[in-house]
Amino acid sequence: MRHTIRLALASLLLLAGTALGQQTVRIAQSLSHNTLNPAATTGLADASVERVIFEGLVGLDKDLKIVPELATSWTISPDATVFTFELRQGVTFQDGTAFNADAVKAYFDWATDKNNKTSARAQSLYANVKSIDVLGPYEVRFTLTAPDATFLSNIALYNGRILSPASIQKYGADVGRHPVGTGPFKFVSWQEGQKITVEANDSYWGPKPKVQRIEFIEVPNAATRVAMLQSGEADFIESLPAQLVASVNQSPNLEAVISKSTYARIFPLNTHFKPFTDVRVRQALNYAVDKEQLVKVAVQGYGTVMDSPVPQTVRGYAAQTPYQYDPEKAKQLLAEAGYPNGFSFTVLTFNSTEFKTAGQVIQTMLAKVGVKVELNPTERGALVSQIFKPLSETQLEGSLVGASTPNGDADRTLTQSFATSSFPPAFNNWSFYSNPEVDKLIQEGRSTGDQAKRDQIYAQAQSIIWKDAPWIFLYSPDNIAGQSKKLTGVYYMPGQTIDARGAAFSN
Amino acid sequence: MLGYLPRRLLQAVPTLIGVLLVVFFFVRALPGDPARLYAGPEANATEIAQVRKDFGLDRPMPTQFVYFLRNLTRGSLGLSFRNNQPATQVIAGHFLPTLWLSVAAIAMASILGIIAGIGAATNRDSPVDLGITVLSILGISTPSFFLGILFIYAFAVRLHLLPISGGPTAAGIVLPALTLAASSLGTIARFSRSSLLEVLGEDYVRTARAKGLHRTRVIGRHALRNALIPVLTITGLQFGFLLSGAVIVETVFNYPGLGWLLIQSIDARDYPVIQGLMLVFALEFLLINLAVDLLYAAIDPRIRYD
C-alpha cells in the first residue's frame, strides 16, 4: 500500500514537472569557449554567451540595426569625432554595483589601457578613443583622435559590452572567468571544454527572462551536433552544414532555420601578378564562373550570389550589375588581353568540404575558357601564415577564402579588403588591390556623420571595385541553424553569433 | 628489484629531456602563427602584434626556451594561449575524463578479448573460432568514426537509451568506451588466440593432460599464464594509446578528454598546452612500459629483475 502511495506521489511530481515545462535551453556551439571578458573576446562562441550576460551602450539587432541598450539616446558630432551618450537609469550589475557614467568610463579606460594583457582586441578596435569624459552621472562623452563614423558600430560589437567595474577590481586579468554584467542572465559555472551555464537574473531591468537556465555546450563536430538535436540533448544548434538540412527537417519536431549572413566567399586575385594585372583578365574570370551553379553545388543552394563586394546584410550595401555567366565573353576578354589560349595558376584554399567543393566547381568552369587552376587545399593555420605574407614575399596568385563584416558596416568590408593600407600583413587586402579613388572614398565615408551621405559614398566605392574586379565575386553563404520547434526567441545573427536573451519554450 | 625501479625511473630522465627539446622546437616549426589564429580573421596588424606580446612570442626563441625551462622547474607549463589559464590546469581538467574512458575501454577490451581468444583457441577451426575471428577482424578494421556514428544513431537517436555526450558520467561513458574498445578488443582476442594455441602445443601442456588433469585446469592453470605474457604487452601498449586521448572517438562523442584538447590546441597553435600534452604522453608510455615489465615478473616467476 505504502508503495502504491509513493508511486502515486512520484508520478504526481513528475506531472507537475511536465506542467512547468522545460526550463533549461541547451545550445550546441561549434567553437570552443576561451574567455568571457568582452575586451578580449575574438571568438563567436564566447560572444554568444556574453550576449546574455552583458550589455553595451548600443547593440545590434538581428537585422544589424544599431539599437539602444544601456544608452537611451546618443548624438554624433557632424565630423564624427564626438559621441555623447545618455545612459539608462536604475540599472545595476549582477554583483549589485550601480551602472552609471563612471562604470562606462572605468570599463573603456581599462579595456583600452596599453598595459592590459587581456584586452588586445579592445585596444585595437578602440585605438582612436582620445578621451572619455563623465559629463554627469548618466551622461558620458567619447572623443576620438580622428573622425570615425564607424565608432558607433564598433561599440555595438561584443567588445563594447560593459563589465562591472567592481569585478575588474576584484579579478583583474582573470575577469574572463568571472563575468559580471547587466544582462538578463548571470554566470553560474564553466566546465572546461564542456559547457557554460547561466541562469535567469531576476533583477534584470528589461523584459524578464522566460527560462531558468541556458547551457552553452561545445560540440565541434557537426554530425554530433545534429545527432544531439535529434536525440533531444540539444534544443538549438548552430553551423548546421547545408547537406544536413534535409535530415533535420525530416523529423517532425525539428526545423532548420535559414537566414542571410555577413559572410562572403571570395576569390582574391593578386593584382600585382601577371596576368591579373590586366583588369580584362579579372573580369573574364568573373564572367567564366556560373555562380548560381556554384551555390547549388557548394552549399546546396543555401547562399546568395554576390552582386556587390559588400554582402546584402551590411549597412551601406549597394547592388551592382551582375557579371552574368558568359564563357564566350570571358574567352573574348582573355583574347583581348593577350591570352587566347588561357593560362594556369595556383589557388590556395581551406581543406574543408565547402571550400574544396567550391574550388573544384570553379576549376571545372575556368577550364572551359582555357584557364587551368591548380587547387592547394591547406589546413587553416598553415593557410593563414601563407596568405598574410607581404607583397615582397608572397607567391600567392589566387585564393579561395572567406571574408566577414562583424560590425555590419560597409566601411569595415571595404577597408579590410580593398584599402591600400590593408595590404597583408596589416589586414585582409589579399588581392593587393590599390586604387587611390577608393582609398579617398573610404576616408570620406568614415569622416561623415550623416548615414545617408555615407551610403552614397560607399555606393560609389562599390561600383569602382566591382568594375575593377580584384576578386572573383562568388556568394554569401546562408547561416543555417537547427532547432526544436518548441523553442522560440533564439536568433542566429548575420555575424554567426547567437542571441538567446529571449529564449522561451512554447507547449 | 629495489634497485631496478629507481634505475628505470632515472633512465627515463634523458628521454624526457629529449622530448622537451624536440617538442619545444617542433611546435614552433609548425606553419601558423598563434597570435594570428587567436586574434582571428578580423584582426589588424596592431592587434596581432599586441597579442604576440601578450603571449611572449615577441622574444627571441632561445629566450623563450629559457623561460619555458624556468617555468618547468617551478612546475608550470605557462598560460594557455587559448584561454589564458595555466596549461597544467587545462591538461589536468581533461586528463581525468580520458583516464576514465581508457580504463573503461581497456577493461571491456581485455576481459571480453581474452574470453573470446580462449573461446576461439579451444574450439580451433570450429564455427565458433570462425565467428570470433570474423568479429575480431571487423572490430579491428571498422573505423571508429563509423562505428561511433552507428552507435549514436542506434542507441541515442533511435532508442534514446544512452546520451551521446555528457562527459565522464556512468551513462555518458558507455558509448564512447564501447566504440573505443572495439578495435583493442579485436586485437587482444586475436593475440590471445594465437598465443594460447602456441602454448597448447608445448610439451608441458601435453604432460599436464597426460597426468589426467581436467581440461579447464590445464588451460586455466598451465597454459593461460604463459599465453598471457604477449597479451599483456599488447594490452599495455593499447592502454598507452588510449591514454593519449582517442582523438576520433572523443570528437565524435564530444567527450572532453585529452584527444579533444589536443585537436583544439593544435588548431589554435596553443604551444604551452601542446608541449604539456606531449610531455604527458611521453611520461604515460614510459610508466606503462615499466608497469608491463613489472607485471611480467608477477605472471612468470622465471622473470626476475635485479
pLDDT in tens, B178-208: 998 988 899 899 989 988 888 888 888 888 8
Strand partners for A280: none
CB contact under 8 A, B47 and A121: yes
The three-state (H, E, C) secondary structure of chain B, written as one string:
CCCHHHHHHHHHHHHHHHHHHHHHHHHHHCCCCHHHHHHCCCCCHHHHHHHHHHHCCCCCHHHHHHHHHHHHHCCCCCECCCCCCEHHHHHHHHHHHHHHHHHHHHHHHHHHHHHHHHHHHHCCCCHHHHHHHHHHHHHHHCCHHHHHHHHHHHHHHHCCCCCCCCCCCHHHHHHHHHHHHHHHHHHHHHHHHHHHHHHHCCHHHHHHHHCCCCHHHHHHHHHHHHHHHHHHHHHHHHHHHHHCCCHHHHHHCCCCCHHHHHHHHHHHCCHHHHHHHHHHHHHHHHHHHHHHHHHHHHHCCCCCCC
Distance CA A223, CA B157 (A): 12
Interface mutation vs chain A, best among B44, B149, B159, B173, most A CBs within 10 Å: B44
CB contact under 8 A, A385 and B31: yes
Instruction: Of A480, A476, A484, give the one whose Cα is nearest residue A503.
Output: A484
**Residue A216 scores a pLDDT above 80:** yes
Cβ neighbours of residue B205 closer than 8 Å, sequence gap 6 or more: B199, B218, B222, B223
**Rounded (10°) angle between helices B224-243 and B87-122:** 150
Interface mutation vs chain B, best among A41, A42, A116, A123, most B CBs within 10 Å: A42
CB contact under 8 A, B51 and A34: no
CB contact under 8 A, A228 and B164: yes
- A-chain CB neighbours of B254 within 8 Å are 217-221, 224, 228
Instruction: Point out the residue among A120, A176, A218 whose CB comes nearest to the CB of B47.
Output: A120
CB contact under 8 A, A35 and B84: yes
Interface mutation vs chain B, best among A24, A27, A34, most B CBs within 10 Å: A34
- A-chain CB neighbours of B264 within 8 Å are 32, 193, 220
Name the region of B281 (left: φ>0; alpha: ψ -120 to 50; beta: rest). Answer: alpha
Stronger pLDDT, B286 or A73, i.e. the higher one: A73
CB contact under 8 A, B253 and A191: no
Instruction: Point out the residue among B38, B85, B157 whose CB comes nearest to the CB of A42.
Output: B38
- A390: its cell numbers: 607581404
- A-chain CB neighbours of B38 within 8 Å are 42
* Among chain A residues, CA nearest to B55: A117
CA of A328 vs chain B CAs: smallest distance (Å): 36
Write down the mean pLDDT value for chain A: 93
Question: What pLDDT, on the 0 to 100 scale, is given for residue B1?
Answer: 55
Distance CA A284, CA A280 (A): 6
Question: What pLDDT, on the 0 to 100 scale, is given for residue A3?
Answer: 52
CA of A492 vs chain B CAs: smallest distance (Å): 19
Question: What pLDDT, on the 0 to 100 scale, is given for residue B165?
Answer: 74
Mean pLDDT across A377-394: 92
Instruction: Point out the residue among A43, A193, A427 whose CB comes nearest to the CB of B261.
Output: A193
Instruction: Point out the residue among A127, A231, A381 whose CB comes nearest to the CB of B269.
Output: A381
DSSP state letters, A86-114: EEPSS-B-TTSPBPSHHHHHHHHHHHT-T
Question: Residue type at A355?
Answer: F
Lowest mean pLDDT, pick from A165-169, A439-443, B2-6, B252-256: B2-6
Q: Which is it for strands A487-488 and A504-505: parallel, antiparallel or unpaired?
A: antiparallel
**Residue B122 scores a pLDDT above 60:** yes
Distance CA A232, CA A202 (A): 28
Question: What pLDDT, on the 0 to 100 scale, is given for residue B168?
Answer: 63
pLDDT in tens, B40-84: 877 888 889 999 998 999 999 999 999 998 998 898 999 999 888
How many CB atoms within 10 Å of residue B283?
Answer: 14
**Residue A13 scores a pLDDT above 60:** no
Q: Which is it for strands A498-499 and A491-492: parallel, antiparallel or unpaired?
A: antiparallel
Interface mutation vs chain A, best among B33, B147, B157, most A CBs within 10 Å: B157
- Ranges A208-212, B151-155, B161-165, B266-270, most confident: A208-212
pLDDT band at B2 (very low <50, low <70, confident <90, very high): low
CA of A20 vs chain B CAs: smallest distance (Å): 23
Instruction: Point out the residue among B36, B84, B149 whose CB comes nearest to the CB of A118.
Output: B84
Distance CA A333, CA A328 (A): 9
Question: What pLDDT, on the 0 to 100 scale, is given for residue A414?
Answer: 97
CB contact under 8 A, B41 and A403: yes
CA of B219 vs chain A CAs: smallest distance (Å): 45
CA of A334 vs chain B CAs: smallest distance (Å): 33
Question: What pLDDT, on the 0 to 100 scale, is given for residue B306?
Answer: 62
Q: Which is it for strands A213-218 and A195-200: parallel, antiparallel or unpaired?
A: antiparallel
Q: Which is it for strands A139-144 and A185-191: parallel, antiparallel or unpaired?
A: unpaired
CB contact under 8 A, B252 and A223: yes
Mean pLDDT across A208-228: 94
CA of B137 vs chain A CAs: smallest distance (Å): 26
CB contact under 8 A, B252 and A34: no
| φ, ψ for residue A298, nearest 5 deg | -75, -35
CB contact under 8 A, A42 and B40: yes
Instruction: Point out the residue among B36, B82, B93 whose CB comes nearest to the CB of A388.
Output: B36
Give the global pTM: 0.88
Question: What pLDDT, on the 0 to 100 scale, is given for residue A300?
Answer: 95
**Residue A107 scores a pLDDT above 90:** yes
Distance CA A444, CA A461 (A): 11
The kind and range of the H/E element at A494 are none
**A498 SS3 class:** strand
Strand partners for A346: A374
Cβ neighbours of residue B117 closer than 8 Å, sequence gap 6 or more: B132, B188, B189, B190, B191, B192, B193, B195, B196, B231
pLDDT in tens, A460-502: 999 999 999 999 999 999 999 999 999 999 999 999 999 999 9
CA of A46 vs chain B CAs: smallest distance (Å): 11
CB contact under 8 A, B94 and A43: no
* Widest pairwise Cα distance in chain A: 96
**Residue A160 scores a pLDDT above 60:** yes
Could you give the percent of chain A with pLDDT greater than 90?
Answer: 89
Cβ neighbours of residue A19 closer than 8 Å, sequence gap 6 or more: none
DSSP state letters, A186-239: EEEEEETTTEEEEEE-TT-SSSPPSSSEEEEEE---HHHHHHHHHHTS-SEES-
Instruction: Point out the residue among A35, A118, A404 whose CB comes nearest to the CB of B41.
Output: A404
**Domains of chain A: residue spans and CATH:** 19-51+183-260+479-507 (3.40.190.10), 55-172 (3.90.76.10), 263-477 (3.10.105.10)
Count of A-B CB contacts under 8 Å: 142
Instruction: Point out the residue among B31, B50, B264 whose CB comes nearest to the CB of A123.
Output: B50
In this prediction the ipTM stands at 0.82
B269, B32 in Cβ contact below 8 A? yes
- B-chain CB neighbours of A231 within 8 Å are 152, 156-157, 160, 163-164
Cβ neighbours of residue A447 closer than 8 Å, sequence gap 6 or more: A79, A80, A146, A147, A148, A149
Distance CA B204, CA A371 (A): 76
Question: What pLDDT, on the 0 to 100 scale, is given for residue A91?
Answer: 97
* Among chain B residues, CA nearest to A116: B54
CA of A143 vs chain B CAs: smallest distance (Å): 21
- B-chain CB neighbours of A230 within 8 Å are 157
Question: What pLDDT, on the 0 to 100 scale, is given for residue A319?
Answer: 97
CA of A205 vs chain B CAs: smallest distance (Å): 31
CA of A237 vs chain B CAs: smallest distance (Å): 14
CA A431 to chain centre: 22
CB contact under 8 A, B50 and A404: no
A269, A431 in Cβ contact below 8 A? yes
